[in-house]
Structure 1
Amino acid sequence: MIRISLKKHLFSFTFHLFYSTVPASSRANVLVDFMVNSLGFSTREAISTNAKVTRLRLRNYEPHLLLDLFDQMGLNKSQIKTLISSSPELLICRVDETLKPKIKVLQQLGLSGSDLVTFIRKSNFMKRGLHTILKPSLNYLMELLGSQDSVAKVVKREPRLLSSNLPKVIPPNITLLQNLGFSRMDIETIFNRHPRFLLNNPEWLESAVNRLEKNFHMSRESGMFLHGIVVLGSLDESKLQRKLGIFRSFGWSDSDICKMVRKLPYCLASSETEIRITLKFFMNELGYEPSYLASHATLLKHSLEKRIRPRNEILKFLKENQLITRNLSLYTVVKHTELQFLKKYVLPFRAEMPEAYDLYMKTRS
């Protein structure tokens, strides 16, 4: 157990930190030694972490209580190191008064082990009050989503959600979207998939609505409209224009771009690098036209390396070896699930042409 294996380090560290008469700078060295000897930090990592901690107050340090809590949570040394590295303030927090009650609330929600590590690492967990932010926000999510399981899923998906005062931030955005004609169910469905979308300033969401209607000619009745708000709500104007500029540099007209956005707004959510690489593959290597890609926008969102390229190689292989005679498009092949694709285009030919199977597995890896 962590508590047993670190016992002698804890005793030595605690003694020197609280009872030594050496200067604070020397006590900081003791902290570095503790991180190196007890938690597996390199000397450089420990010094870097220590520099962040020594700007804070060391008198609250409770190493035995902290590691006892981590032990009870079932964390291993690697997970503890990850937590301390990302949140050095854990080293000097009041464990019983501050940390333990917050951990308990999350455990009651259903988070444990690696989920807790991820949550603490990615959120401003330690800087948010239990009774002012965490509990009110969790209570609000229960009212909004209706079940503890749904709340746990959305918190795991987006740990930074609980860094905001949700009862204050979310309702104005829901009201705005309802006034635009969207149902509560539609809004909650999108929120489950993209939790941060309702954390935007209402004026910013309204701006996204206006841009969708005026710049991309998307109707509010479109099933993609809310998705479009999610995407444009995450992009400032300069970033959006840079992405549109990449499409235009490949010969796309504004009409092509609008058609693509109306089909699948998430094409604009890809990074600039991803957009450029994807367009090079489809247009320069395969010779596809902008109008075709705009009409078959899902091609642009599937993983190029894990899905598009491997399946394209198999399709070429089957056609070159006349194992399929019908005119089969890459778009049709890409739409299949992994299991469907294997059953239709790989496994039936494995005995006759084992190269097909080997080629697919190789290109996927």
Structure 2
Amino acid sequence: MLRLRGSTLARILSFSAASPIPFPLHRLLSAVAPAVSPNPSFAVEEYLVDTCGLTRAQALKASAKISRIKSPTKPDAVLAFLAGLGLSSAHVSALVAKDPLFLCAGVERILAPNVVGLTGLGLSHTEIARLASLAPTCFRCKSIVSNLPYCLSLFGSYENLLLVIKHDSSILRCSLEKVVKPNVAFLQECGLGDCDTPKLWIAAPRLLCTNPERVRAMVACAEGLGVPRGSVMFRHALHAVAFLSKEKIAIQVEHLKNTFRWSDSEVGIAVCKFPNILRRSKDNLQSRSEFLISEAGLEPAYIAHRPAMLSYSLEGRLRPRYYVLKFLKENGLLDHDRDYYSAVAFIEKVFVEKFICPHKEAAPHLSQDYEAACRGEMRTRFRFA
């Protein structure tokens, strides 16, 4: 029955998208979701397991949100609608688990008209199906059709939009005129250029849907870190402080000072150069401090002026490359003044070309030892011969 309903709805949607005249959806959709009386024996949890494919735990959690459903009529129609869009059983199960209230959405009143509207904007049924799967809550809102054109222009492409809504789809139902557009205009006034804004939107989509007054407070906080509007790092600073309270920022700054033995001025330099350090976990920072200061012997001031190194993998980059440089210097194969940060900043291909390949004859095991170190198989010392 579900397969039959799905194929029926697929023909309806296909015809309605191509039809140049108003299409009587209500007459055909009635065939997909015939009206029936409430079924007193209908059990929501069992329906979610047997028909929607949810696990028992998922069904127990979801059933509390849709306990008002008293018959399979409306959820059957919704499942038929999703099948008509081409969603697999696995995708339908994931959608229902994510948004159980989707089963309560009106096919004739909201879902089918949304498909017609999105098709009119140029989206294929495959693209619409992906949208429904990623943002089911928004898909059952009429605003998705009116918001989509602006969102596409804002993010630059449909693929970029999908990247955003994987993390936060609220922009598809947020007020454009009262919230989104004022935020975009203000942040552009702050010096965010055409290249910066899509990156910020993708990294922090919630920013666009936040109360404009709060966004202004975030900008002030970013400036308070010493990163001026219009600077190269302003976008990163704004992303770093977004949704962090002043108290949390102060706690993180104090932790940085203690962990890396930085003075007030040094922690200020580090934050200005690498604002995302404010979002690093305590364990992440502690492990890097122990290696860079205690083992590699770097001065706190050296790290403060090159804080980007704290973003690199400890086991996959910082530690293995340190041991390569140490090995080369100890065996007279490298100038002892060679800067550590310049070596760890290189991409992998360039590092290998500059520090591994030239020493194949003098140190035939270096490449093998370095690869082992990158896998976490760190030997006490690299082999010379």
* TM-score normalised by L of structure 1: 0.74
Q: CA contact under 8 A between 2:240 and 2:278: conserved in structure 1?
A: yes
Separation in 2 of the partners of 1:3 and 1:231? 48
Q: Which residue in 2 is equivalent to 1:93?
A: 105
| Deviations 1:179-229, CA, capped at 9 Å, x for gaps | 44555665455435543333333333333343344x433333532123322
Q: Structure 1 pair 183/52, CA: closer, same or farther in 2 (3 Å)?
A: closer
| Deviations 1:250-285, CA, capped at 9 Å, x for gaps | 222221121112212122233444334443443344
Deviation at 1:297, TM superposition (A): 1.5
1:242 aligns with 2:255: no
1:275 aligns with 2:290: no
Q: Structure 1 pair 296/218, CA: closer, same or farther in 2 (3 Å)?
A: same
- What is the identity, as a one-letter code, of the residue corresponding to 1:94? G
Q: Structure 1 pair 231/44, CA: closer, same or farther in 2 (3 Å)?
A: closer
1:290 aligns with 2:303: no
**Equivalence map 1:214-253=2 (5 Å):** 215-250=224-259, 251-253=261-263
Separation in 2 of the partners of 1:50 and 1:212? 43
1:359 aligns with 2:372: yes
Separation in 2 of the partners of 1:320 and 1:242? 41
**Equivalence map 1:171-250=2 (5 Å):** 171-180=181-190, 183=193, 186-188=196-198, 190-213=200-223, 215-250=224-259
Superposed CA RMSD in Å reads: 4.0
* TM-score normalised by L of structure 2: 0.71
Q: Structure 1 pair 152/327, CA: closer, same or farther in 2 (3 Å)?
A: same
Q: Structure 1 pair 142/80, CA: closer, same or farther in 2 (3 Å)?
A: closer
Deviation at 1:240, TM superposition (A): 1.1
Q: CA contact under 8 A between 2:38 and 2:70: conserved in structure 1?
A: no
Query: Which residue of 27, 39, 46 corresponds with 2:42?
Result: 27
- What is the identity, as a one-letter code, of the residue corresponding to 1:52? K
- What is the identity, as a one-letter code, of the residue corresponding to 1:75? L
Q: Which residue in 2 is equivalent to 1:301?
A: 311
3-state secondary structure, aligned to 2:42: helix
Q: Which residue in 1 is equivalent to 2:54?
A: 41
Q: Structure 1 pair 35/181, CA: closer, same or farther in 2 (3 Å)?
A: closer
Q: Which residue in 2 is equivalent to 1:170?
A: 180
Of the structure 1 ranges 87-96 and 202-211, higher mean CA displacement relative to structure 2 is found in 202-211
Q: Which residue in 1 is equivalent to 2:134?
A: 119
Q: Which residue in 2 is equivalent to 1:77?
A: 89
Q: Which residue in 1 is equivalent to 2:19?
A: none
Q: Which residue in 2 is equivalent to 1:66?
A: 78
3-state secondary structure, aligned to 1:62: helix
Q: Structure 1 pair 201/46, CA: closer, same or farther in 2 (3 Å)?
A: closer
Separation in 2 of the partners of 1:357 and 1:114? 46
Q: Which residue in 2 is equivalent to 1:9?
A: none
**Equivalence map 1:322-341=2 (5 Å):** 324=334, 327-341=337-351
**Equivalence map 1:5-16=2 (5 Å):** none
Deviation at 1:343, TM superposition (A): 4.3
Q: Structure 1 pair 149/289, CA: closer, same or farther in 2 (3 Å)?
A: same
Separation in 1 of the partners of 2:337 and 2:129? 48
Q: Which residue in 2 is equivalent to 1:11?
A: none
Number of paired residues? 342
Q: Structure 1 pair 289/205, CA: closer, same or farther in 2 (3 Å)?
A: farther
Q: Structure 1 pair 47/158, CA: closer, same or farther in 2 (3 Å)?
A: closer
Q: CA contact under 8 A between 2:75 and 2:103: conserved in structure 1?
A: yes
- What is the identity, as a one-letter code, of the residue corresponding to 1:249? N
Larger Rg over CA atoms: 2
Q: CA contact under 8 A between 2:204 and 2:239: conserved in structure 1?
A: yes
Separation in 1 of the partners of 2:360 and 2:268? 42
Identical pairs, percent: 27
Greater share of residues in helix: 1
Deviation at 1:359, TM superposition (A): 0.3
